[in-house]
Every structure is written in structure tokens, then in C-alpha cells.
Chains A and B, each alone.
Chain A
Amino acid sequence: QKEVEQNSGPLSVPEGAIASLNCTYSDRGSQSFFWYRQYSGKSPELIMFIYSNGDKEDGRFTAQLNKASQYVSLLIRDSQPSDSATYLCAVKGRNSGYALNFGKGTSLLVTP
């Protein structure tokens, strides 16, 4: 079982809608959770991180963490075509010396 699971997509949403991306993880000792955006052929870039239960907002992005249910999500409000990319969930856990474990990513397509 992969430690960090994401639906590969593609997730298609119309421009202006809310995109909801989900991620589950298996290590209950995980401490920090990250969302990266990756455009095709480019390197991942950090969107935001969260480490406490609840919501964390940054502009159009909101990360949500529920440690009891072991899931983390990313909401993108007012989605734009430029948000079309692959979104990677990463978890800082105990099983690789506190290096990050990455999910395979969810492909998001925002249609005009």
C-alpha cells in the first residue's frame, strides 16, 4: 500500500468553479502535510503546507487537514485555466527519516 494516495484524475472543472483535491495517508505519526503544483516537464513548486487540524487559507487556496481520518485536501476557489497542472500531496512522516513521501499526483484541468 502506497503511503500517500491520490486520485490520479484528470479532474476537470469549469473556469471560476471550486476544485477539490484529496489525499489520504497511512502513517498516523505524520506531522506535516504539503501541496505542490507541477506543470508538465517542470519542477514541483510549493503551494502551501499545513500541520494542524482544520483549515488554512492562502489566497484562492485552502488546505484542510483531518488527522483522525488521515486525509488532507486542497480547495482552489475561482479556478483559472492557469491552475491546470498536476497537484502533488506530500507528507512528512516517520518511515523515511522524516523525508517527504509524495503521492502520485492529481491532474487538474480547468476549462474556459
Chain B
Amino acid sequence: DADVTQTPRNRITKTGKRIMLECSQTKGHDRMYWYRQDPGLGLQLIYYSFDVKDINKGEISDGYSVSRQAQAKFSLSLESAIPNQTALYFCATSESGGQETQYFGPGTRLLVL
């Protein structure tokens, strides 16, 4: 079984809809991250969480919110989806105290019409 899972893997939604992307991990890591990736723009950090009670905005947090329900679960919400949020979304995890190597989930491909 994969260590970092994301659901759904693909999602099509309409402008103005609220959607949630979920991430779960079995690696036992305390740190979790959400990124989006657009063609030619690389990975952009949306939010990150260093533990259940420590959530921080990344470089592009506007229009997004997150919830760290447990150490193993980190959800990303789009309160009112807009077309320019169409992208590939990745969740990642890392363990504090070491080199902070990040391990990525398989990604969620989101299309906002």
C-alpha cells in the first residue's frame, strides 16, 4: 500500500463549488504539505503543517483553506472554486529532526469549469 494517498485522484467541478481534497499518510511523519503544480511554474506551496496544532500559509494560500484532522490526515479545501485553480495538487510529508526529505502522494488532477 502507498505510504501517502490522495483522494480523489481526478475531479471535475464547476466555478463556485466547494470541494475538498484529502491526504492520508501511514509514514508516521509529523509534517504535511499541500502544493499545486501548473505547467511551467513548478511546485508552489499552498499550506504546510508541522503538527496538528501548527498550520502555516505558503506562498499561494489565497482561495484555499486546510484542516489537519489528525497527524495522519491533512485536507485542502477550495471554498469557492475558480477556473485558475485548475492544476495538479500534491500532498507531501516529512519527518522533523532530520533532513526533512519530503515524500509525495500521487497527486489530484483538478479541473474547474
Contact with B along A59-92 (1 / 0, CB 8 A): 0000000000000000000000000000010101
* Contact with A43, one of B42, B56, B104 (Cβ below 8 angstroms): B104
Q: List 5 A-B contacts (CB under 8 A).
A: A41-B107, A44-B43, A45-B104, A96-B58, A99-B48
Residue from the list B42, B59, B90, B101 in contact with A34, Cβ < 8 A: B101
Contact B50 A97 (CB under 8 A): yes
Residues of A close to B40: CB separation below 8 A? 8, 104
B contact residues around A41 at 8 Å (CB)? 88, 107
20 more CB-based (< 8 A) A-B contacts, given A43-B107, A104-B40: A8-B40, A32-B99, A41-B88, A42-B106, A43-B105, A44-B104, A46-B103, A49-B99, A51-B99, A92-B100, A96-B58, A96-B59, A97-B50, A98-B100, A99-B45, A99-B56, A100-B102, A102-B42, A104-B41, A105-B42
The count of residues in chain B whose C-beta lies closer than 8 Å to any C-beta of chain A is 23
Inter-chain CA distance A46–B105, complex, in Å, is 12
B contacts, CB < 8 Å to A: 33, 35, 40-43, 45, 48, 50, 56, 58-59, 88, 90, 99-107
How many Å lie between the Cα of A88 and that of B44 in the bound state? 12
C-alpha gap A72/B93 in the complex (Å): 23
B90: contacting residue among A43, A51, A105, CB under 8 A:
A43
Q: How far is the CA of A47 from the CA of B52 in the complex (A)?
A: 29
Distance between Cα atoms of A101 and B105 in the complex (Å): 18
Total A-B pairs, Cβ < 8 A: 53
Interface size on A (CB < 8 Å)? 24
Contacts of B106 in A (CB 8 A): 42-43
Report if A99-B33 is in contact (Cβ < 8 Å); known contacts: A43-B90, A46-B101: yes
Evaluate contact between A42 and B107: CB separation under 8 angstroms: yes
Is A49 within 8 A of B45, CB to CB?
no
